[in-house]
Structure 1
Amino acid sequence: MDKQIIFEDDHIRVIFLKGSSDTLVVSFGDLISRAKGMSINAEKSLIKYQYNVIGIMPKQKTWFPKSSMLNMQQQIQPFLAQFKERVGYGGSMGGYAAIKYSNLLNMQKIVAFVPQYTIDPEVVQDRRYAEFFDVSIHQHMEIQPDEVDSSREYIIVYDPYFAEDKEHFLKIKPLLPQMHVIHLPFTGHEALSVLASSELLNDFVEKPFDITYFYQRVRQVKKQSKFYYRHVLDALLPRHHQALLKILEDNDLQLDERYFDAVMKQKLVQQLFRMKQGTEQNLVKLGALPHFVQQNGAQRPKVSTAQHEFLVFNLVSLKLESYSADVIAAQSQYLLPLNGRSNALVDLELNGDHYLLTMNDRGIHKLIALGEPLPLDQSPLIFKQYAEFCSVSYKQLTLSCDTNGLSHFIENNVDEQTKLFLI
């Protein structure tokens, strides 16, 4: 499609994308989708529906300074004048600009995802963007009453449980009494990523606002989003353990093994095991494929932590963790108890064979078959027995087991959480 740069200064690059529709979409970039060549925010989706587009792309993290926008408006007026229907669209910094410059660009509809009111640290408590505030270009940068109008249609999408974005919403709300609001709980600041959909973007641009219809469409899109469950589980897991099981039961998931980061994946797998629901099917749904599987049945746990759970090696996360004896028995194919031989290298029995448990300075464990040479970066763990307790050490560090069943190595070898006991 035909593109041309129609304005540019130190802060913004403005690109006109010619389409065949009667509507002009003014698409504002954000911190991530800044000016890069001739790219436009949400370009693929906008091209799909043949929209005419003015893409206002930030070149710096400067929140569309008003001086730049005023100069731009004068220069692009011939392009704006061709269209009676103008829709503003953007998220975060782009959502802020879509609202703030709605009068300036005479936009009839504005769709703003998680917008800011200002980044001035004297005005808002949110400090995520305070480092980008520049008093020389951001005087009175908050959205002003004379920059918006109740005759325009404003649609704001945000997570009401995310405090930083809620602060901005509550400051914007008195300025826009006629606005429509779509709540997207447990998505944090990623609402735009969760709802990335060509069809939904087209709905926002073209369809009259109907709250029932849009909530139905939002539910459909978010359940297909690779971002959604990550945010939901992260928010719910600490308080609502059954939420994970409910999501797995109700959805035909098969996530990529890189979908969750290592920390999140470990917590999810651990919670499944504690609920005794660590089935192969559930692990596959989470993209948490086991590295090894124990085929020879349950082994008797021998090493107790200070929390009266038993120390095991998790064959899915490849981490040392602790569980109750009944959980270990129920998930024995994935949880290997430590042998706990006094003053010896830590070893594990897996399917009749014995392996040394080793680790490197990045905390990565490996199982090394007895008799096999160690990799140069790996060192064995040592099980030490003292008069009143035991411990596991790696070089000068000692294993510490917390109340959540997770473990890490620390320098203090007399901490209560480092004490282990042979049963």
Structure 2
Amino acid sequence: MTSLILFNGEDIVLHFQKGISDFIIVTFESVNKEGEAESGFFGKKPANKNGYNIIGITSKKPNWYLSSEMETALSLCSNITRDYSIIICFGYSMGAYGSIKYSRSIGATSTLALAPQYSILSSDCPLNDFLSGFSAFAQPGMAITSADIGGRIYIAHDPCEYVDTVHANLIAAQAEHAVHLFPFFGAGHQIIDYVKGSENFQKMMLSLAGKTKTDIVNVVSLIRRRQGSYLSKLFGASCQKHPYLTAKALLSKTFTEIDSVDEIYTNRTMQSALTGALLRQGYLFEASALIISNYLYAREGRYDNAFSDRDIRPSIHWMLTYHDWYLGYSVKNKAFARCDPFCPQGDALPVVIEQSAQTAYLMIDLLGRPTYLAPRSGRIVLIGNRSEEAQFEVVRHHEGTIFLRSPLGVIGARPDGSVYADSPNMMDWEKMLIVSP
């Protein structure tokens, strides 16, 4: 569908895209999109894909749509919307403010506002550092009032985001009968990142248009719970505090059937952190199942709790550092390095440990052959045979962790992914975990 520009002023641009729906959507673009005010608008692509009628209002300045040109834009807008009984306003952040501020003028039947502002005038409400940066565009009287509100207003906000929550409550206080607040936990201000996509857009718009039996609050809640990026963030926050529950959820059949979960399975930082937390707290069964599932996903693209299938267990014993990433060895640099055995990057190969009570051999698989690591001439080098030279001393800790020491010193890891092999100490951050299915 072709998008037309019906008005192009100094501040405001009015776009229109004709569709085949019996309702129309009016969107307001968010801040930091001023450079694209003429080339696009909020919701353009998903509306086009779903065949919806849509008007997109954009601004060439971060002015929260406080412009004398809005009168002209709204007049032109009404020439189109008067033919529709269902008018939906939709916006995020600055755009959410605009969608509520002009909801009555537009004749909106319903509005979905994601993390809106009540005002950006410091005397009206608290501002964070980001909003304070736009104070030059604030105007007295810009706060949303009951006279601005038309139709039913739905405001999504993260209750843990203090400023957004205050602004949402201030808006709700203007028209409690018309404004419905609902939480979007864990998203911060960037709620839009968790509901984007044509399919999600379709679900939300059809609900607001009354075309489905599910109300918009439940629709958005379901989208949130099934969004890979949201779940990845949620699991990342819970893996240290509740590793057992996180692993059980991650490995459940119900979870593996959720759409768009690749982002979680490929979040290697979260996966290795969860493995480390499970091992430290003694959940060996769950740690083993998680490792196997990661192995299956890397090998076959499926993520199952296959702990009972002994045939697919890789015969490996890797090393997990204090910072929850795997110990590797760079053949090119002849040094230890950060490594991900499930998703290799660069030339670092995973280090495998063969251990006895007090000694260990470290090796890598080089072209299908076990090649051992040995301290020599101040460096860790490759040697072809398992000799006394390749022995590392194992110093065990009561937590189940170990230190690895050679004549050069103790192996340790830094948060930035670098590894050293010459520490004279045995500090907490130099502890290693043996990872074995």
TM-score normalised to structure 1 length:
0.67
Partner in structure 1 of residue 182 of structure 2? 182
- Cα separation, 2, equivalents of 1:146 and 1:285: 56
Using a 3 Å threshold, how does the CA distance of structure 1 residues 357 and 246 change in structure 2: closer, same or farther?
farther
Instruction: Tell me how far 1:215 sits from its aligned partner.
Output: 5.0
- Cα separation, 2, equivalents of 1:172 and 1:133: 20
Partner in structure 1 of residue 256 of structure 2? 252
Instruction: Tell me how far 1:350 sits from its aligned partner.
Output: 4.2
Partner in structure 2 of residue 55 of structure 1? 56
Instruction: Tell me how far 1:220 sits from its aligned partner.
Output: 4.0
2:294 maps to which of 271, 283, 294 = 283
1:198 maps to which of 198, 201, 219 = 201
Instruction: Tell me how far 1:99 sits from its aligned partner.
Output: 0.9
**1:73-101 Cα shifts (integer Å, max 9, x gaps):** 24544334444432211122211211112
Partner in structure 2 of residue 349 of structure 1? 363
Using a 3 Å threshold, how does the CA distance of structure 1 residues 109 and 255 change in structure 2: closer, same or farther?
closer
Instruction: Tell me how far 1:419 sits from its aligned partner.
Output: 6.7
Instruction: Tell me how far 1:153 sits from its aligned partner.
Output: 0.7
Please say if residues 24 and 53 of structure 1, whose CA atoms lie closer than 8 Å, have aligned partners that are also in contact: yes
Using a 3 Å threshold, how does the CA distance of structure 1 residues 188 and 392 change in structure 2: closer, same or farther?
same
Instruction: Tell me how far 1:200 sits from its aligned partner.
Output: 1.4
Partner in structure 2 of residue 163 of structure 1? 162
Partner in structure 1 of residue 18 of structure 2? 18
Instruction: Report which stretch shifted further, 27-36 or 171-180.
Output: 27-36
- Cα separation, 2, equivalents of 1:53 and 1:261: 36
- Look up the equivalent residue of 1:110 and give its one-letter code: T
Using a 3 Å threshold, how does the CA distance of structure 1 residues 60 and 281 change in structure 2: closer, same or farther?
farther
Using a 3 Å threshold, how does the CA distance of structure 1 residues 162 and 338 change in structure 2: closer, same or farther?
farther
- Cα separation, 2, equivalents of 1:153 and 1:132: 31
Using a 3 Å threshold, how does the CA distance of structure 1 residues 48 and 130 change in structure 2: closer, same or farther?
closer
Instruction: Tell me how far 1:262 sits from its aligned partner.
Output: 5.3
TM-score normalised to structure 2 length:
0.65
- Cα separation, 2, equivalents of 1:195 and 1:93: 17
Instruction: Tell me how far 1:115 sits from its aligned partner.
Output: 1.5
Q: Within the alignment, does 1:152 sit opposite 2:151 as a pair?
A: yes
Instruction: Tell me how far 1:124 sits from its aligned partner.
Output: 4.5
SS of residue in 1 equivalent to 2:54:
strand
**Identical residues among aligned pairs (%):** 18
**Aligned residues, how many?**
363
Partner in structure 2 of residue 78 of structure 1? 79
Partner in structure 1 of residue 435 of structure 2? none
More helix by share: 2
SS of residue in 2 equivalent to 1:148:
coil
Please say if residues 15 and 55 of structure 1, whose CA atoms lie closer than 8 Å, have aligned partners that are also in contact: yes
- Look up the equivalent residue of 1:143 and give its one-letter code: A
- Look up the equivalent residue of 1:193 and give its one-letter code: D
- Cα separation, 2, equivalents of 1:392 and 1:148: 65
- Cα separation, 2, equivalents of 1:176 and 1:284: 54
Instruction: Tell me how far 1:107 sits from its aligned partner.
Output: 1.9
**1:247-286 Cα shifts (integer Å, max 9, x gaps):** 3313115844797555444424434555332435532688
Using a 3 Å threshold, how does the CA distance of structure 1 residues 269 and 297 change in structure 2: closer, same or farther?
closer
**1:181-211 Cα shifts (integer Å, max 9, x gaps):** 332322333433323313312333311897x
Using a 3 Å threshold, how does the CA distance of structure 1 residues 207 and 336 change in structure 2: closer, same or farther?
same
Partner in structure 1 of residue 276 of structure 2? 270
Instruction: Tell me how far 1:55 sits from its aligned partner.
Output: 0.4
Q: Within the alignment, does 1:313 sit opposite 2:313 as a pair?
A: no
Structure-to-structure mapping, 1:319-398, within 5 angstroms: 319=338, 336=352, 348-350=362-364, 353-356=370-373, 369-370=382-383, 390-392=409-411
- Cα separation, 2, equivalents of 1:206 and 1:357: 69
Q: Within the alignment, does 1:236 sit opposite 2:238 as a pair?
A: yes
- Cα separation, 2, equivalents of 1:368 and 1:70: 74
- Look up the equivalent residue of 1:235 and give its one-letter code: A
SS of residue in 2 equivalent to 1:251:
helix
- Cα separation, 2, equivalents of 1:152 and 1:25: 14
- Cα separation, 2, equivalents of 1:297 and 1:126: 53
Please say if residues 158 and 189 of structure 1, whose CA atoms lie closer than 8 Å, have aligned partners that are also in contact: yes
